[in-house]
């Protein structure tokens, strides 16, 4: 935007007087001075960094392994010292993020130099153990904590197979995985934890809740499959279901006793129905029941929409409405897919799509209005 032209326009419309317009012009001129210089210095620094990266990359094989390891140690140590000396700020979060990344690349370098043959979960677990203390101590930005959460999830996924194998004789493998979201939510919503580490509390609670919502939604795809499980499989599923229900009940009771952050009843209902909906498609033999799966899926997202309204998270409510609408389209294709080959079918499909979009928008607007008036 041309500021001079905008100021003239605002003066002409009587929005600002001449003195104010002059003060704004002077302020903006002072603010902008030196910006070009800083931009050039920034570009120059970036070019130097890229150049160093290119030179190192091109000669990677020629650089002795001991030198690479020493340099990486120095970088990791330097980042650690810088993190220690930086007061709480965005810069400190950036340093924590960089140290987290440098630790991972250092592990990769060790793997490369020593030809380690460890399965992925081992270096990931090592990484998680060594980065968690400094992350808990210094990281406060939600985006940086979210990266740690992703690392935690990757470690868990990478370790799922050996862990399942290790626990297979106990029938507790699914129970272990079912307990994790509830433990994360319990820790994240614990008032004692929130007092000490509020940002971590929020991040862990959101992480646990999102993991539960994604797992439950994804599990509804099991209704499309032919489920005929052996007794062994059933012995794995039931402990998982019981663990989930116990987790939900524990969190509900702790909340009632004011040990956890207060949440509306829709949230506790969501926690309780999730393990049931995950297990249900596998609890009895069936030859595939896609419509039932769609109904459960939409019912689940209705509860999420309700939770969005009760907690005042309009974005979550809007997302839930859109997801339910999209699922309705998929149901239509699943049930009346053959109609799409006819002209009349196409007309009906188009009308249905328009009706869904308009209906969703109307619901979102209506509830947004109610939210404001509450």
Partner 1 sequence: MNKGKILAMLAVLLPTLALAGLIVQKESLRSQPPVVRLPITGYDPRDLLYGHYLQFRFDFAGEPVAPACQPVLQGGMAEQCRLCVTASGAYSVIPVEDKTADCAYRLPLTHLTGVRKYFIPEDAAPELDRLLRQPGLVMAVDIFASGDAVTYGGLYITGEPWRDYLRNHPPPDQQQ
List interacting residues with partner 1 (CB under 8 A).
60-61, 69, 73, 76-77, 80-81, 83-84, 99, 102-103, 106-107, 110-117, 126, 129-131, 133-134, 136-138
CB of 205 to partner 1, least distance (A): 23
Torsion, Cα 151 156 157 160, to 10 degrees, reads 160
Burial class (CB in 10 A: 0-12, 13-18, 19+), 349: middle
Nearer to partner 1, 108 or 242 (CB): 108
CB of 372 to partner 1, least distance (A): 45
CB of 342 to partner 1, least distance (A): 45
Please give the DSSP secondary-structure letter assigned to residue 139.
Answer: -
CB of 95 to partner 1, least distance (A): 9
CB of 198 to partner 1, least distance (A): 18
Nearer to partner 1, 104 or 222 (CB): 104
Nearer to partner 1, 129 or 221 (CB): 129
Torsion, Cα 182 185 187 192, to 10 degrees, reads -130
DSSP letters for 48-72: HHHHHHHHHHHTTTTS-HHHHHHHH
Annotate 270-296 with b (16+ C-beta within 10 A) or e (fewer): bbbbbbebbbbbbeeeeeebbeebbeb
Closest CA to 247 of 204, 192, 208, 281: 208
């Amino acid at each position: 935007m041309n500021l001079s032209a905008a100021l003239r326009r605002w003066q002409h419309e009587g929005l600002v007087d001449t003195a104010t317009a002059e003060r704004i012009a002077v302020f903006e001129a002072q603010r902008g001075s030196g910006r070009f210089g800083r931009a050039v210095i920034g570009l120059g620094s970036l070019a130097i960094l890229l150049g160093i990266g290119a030179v190192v990359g091109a000669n990677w094989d020629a650089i002795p392994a001991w030198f690479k390891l020493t340099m990486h140690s120095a970088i990791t140590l330097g980042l650690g010292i810088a993190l220690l000396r930086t007061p709480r700020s965005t810069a400190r979060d950036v340093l924590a993020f960089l140290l987290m990344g440098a630790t991972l690349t250092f592990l990769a370098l060790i793997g490369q130099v020593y030809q380690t043959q460890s399965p992925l979960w081992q270096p990931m677990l090592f990484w998680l153990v060594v980065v968690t203390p400094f992350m808990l101590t210094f990281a406060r930005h939600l985006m940086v904590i979210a990266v740690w959460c992703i690392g935690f999830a990757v470690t868990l996924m990478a370790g799922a197979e050996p862990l399942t194998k290790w626990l297979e004789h106990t029938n507790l493998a699914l129970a272990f995985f079912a307990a994790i979201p509830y433990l994360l939510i319990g820790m994240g919503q614990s008032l004692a934890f929130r007092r000490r580490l509020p940002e971590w509390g929020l991040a862990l609670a959101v992480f646990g809740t999102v993991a539960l919502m994604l797992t439950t939604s994804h599990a509804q795809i099991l209704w499309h499959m032919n489920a005929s499980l052996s007794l062994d499989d059933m012995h794995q599923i039931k402990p998982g279901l019981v663990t989930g229900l116990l987790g939900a009940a524990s969190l509900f009771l702790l909340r009632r006793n004011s040990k956890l952050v207060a949440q509306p009843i829709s949230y506790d209902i969501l926690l309780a129905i999730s393990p049931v909906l995950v297990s249900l498609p596998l609890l009895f033999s069936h030859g595939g029941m896609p419509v039932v799966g769609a109904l459960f899926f939409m019912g689940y997202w209705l509860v999420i929409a309700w939770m969005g309204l009760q907690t005042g998270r309009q974005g979550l409510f809007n997302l839930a409405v859109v997801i339910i609408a999209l699922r309705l389209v998929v149901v239509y294709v699943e049930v009346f897919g053959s109609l799409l080959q006819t002209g009349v079918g196409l007309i009906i499909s188009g009308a249905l799509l328009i009706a869904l979009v308009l209906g969703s928008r109307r619901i979102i607007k209506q509830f947004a209005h109610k939210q404001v008036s509450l």
